Structure 1
Amino acid sequence: MAIKVLVVDDSALMRSVLTEIINSAPDLEVVGGAPDPLVAREMIKTLNPDVLTLDVEMPKMDGLDFLARLMRLRPMPVVMISSLTQRGSETTLQALELGAVDFVPKPKLDSLGGIESCRVEICEKIRGAYGSRPRVPVAFIAPSKPLPGEKSSGFAGRSGGSEGGAGLDKLLCIGASTGGTEAIKEVLCSLPEKMPGILMVQHMPEMFTASFAKRLDGLCSLNVKEAEHGEKVLPGTAYLAPGHSHLSVRRVSGGYVCELSRSEPVNRHRPAVDVLFHSAAKQAGANALGVILTGMGKDGAQGLLAMRQAGAWTLGQDQDSCVVYGMPREAAQIGALEEVAALKDIGARVLARLRGGERRGMRA
Structure 2
Amino acid sequence: MPPIKVMIVDDSAVVRQVLSATLGEDHAIEIIGTAVDPVFALERMKTCWPDVIVLDVEMPRMDGITFLRKIMAERPTPVVICSTLTEKGSETALQALSAGAVCVVTKPRMGLKQFLMDSSDDLVSAVKVAARANVRRLLAASQAAPMPPAPKLSADAILPPGTAMAQTTETVVAIGTSTGGTQALEAVLRALPRVCPGIVVVQHMPEKFTGAFAQRLDTLCEVEVREARHGDRVVPGRVLIAPGGRHMLLKRSGAQYVVDVVDGPPVSRHRPSVDVLFRSVARFAGRNAVGIIMTGMGDDGARGLKEMHDAGAWTVAQDEASCVVYGMPKEAVKLGAVDRILPLRDIPSAILGRISRKG
Which band: TM-score by shorter chain? over 0.9
Q: Which residue of 2 aligns with 1:361?
A: none
Change (3 A) 1:113 1:37: closer
Does the 8 Å contact 2:295/2:325 carry over to 1?
yes
Partners of 1:21 and 1:208 in 2: how far apart?
26
Q: Which residue of 1 aligns with 2:292?
A: 291
Q: Which residue of 2 aligns with 1:140?
A: 145
* 1:111 Cα deviation after fit: 6.4
Q: Which residue of 1 aligns with 2:77?
A: 76
Partners of 1:275 and 1:7 in 2: how far apart?
35
* 1:148 Cα deviation after fit: 4.9
**Bigger helix share:** 2
Q: Which residue of 2 aligns with 1:227?
A: 228
Identity fraction in percent: 46
Deviation by residue 1:1-44 (Cα, 9 ceiling, x = unmatched): 22110001111121112111211222112110011111111222
Q: TM-score, normalised by structure 1?
A: 0.91
CA RMSD of aligned residues (A): 2.4
Partners of 2:154 and 2:115 in 1: how far apart?
51
Q: Which residue of 2 aligns with 1:205?
A: 206
Q: Within 5 A, what are the aligned runs for 1:1-364?
A: 1-85=2-86, 87-106=88-107, 110=111, 113-135=114-136, 136-137=139-140, 138-148=143-153, 162-164=163-165, 168-356=169-357
Query: For structure 1, which segment, 61-70 or 270-279, has the greater mean C-alpha deviation from structure 2 after superposition?
Result: 61-70
Partners of 1:98 and 1:302 in 2: how far apart?
32
Q: Residue 356 of structure 1 aligns to a residue in which SS?
A: helix
* 1:164 Cα deviation after fit: 3.6
* 1:116 Cα deviation after fit: 3.3
Does the 8 Å contact 1:77/1:132 carry over to 2?
yes
Query: For structure 1, which segment, 270-279 or 74-83, has the greater mean C-alpha deviation from structure 2 after superposition?
Result: 74-83
Where does the alignment leave 5 or more consecutive residues of structure 1 unmatched?
359-364
Deviation by residue 1:37-94 (Cα, 9 ceiling, x = unmatched): 1111122221221100111111111211111111111011111113143645211111
Does the 8 Å contact 1:83/1:89 carry over to 2?
no
Deviation by residue 1:163-194 (Cα, 9 ceiling, x = unmatched): 34797221010001111111111111111111
Does the 8 Å contact 2:278/2:308 carry over to 1?
yes
Amino acid in structure 2 at the alignment position of 1:145: A
Does the 8 Å contact 1:145/1:222 carry over to 2?
no
* 1:250 Cα deviation after fit: 0.5
Partners of 1:254 and 1:88 in 2: how far apart?
38
Deviation by residue 1:128-173 (Cα, 9 ceiling, x = unmatched): 01011113242322352325599x99xx9xxxx9434797221010
Partners of 2:64 and 2:264 in 1: how far apart?
36
Does the 8 Å contact 2:179/2:324 carry over to 1?
yes
Where does the alignment leave 5 or more consecutive residues of structure 2 unmatched?
none
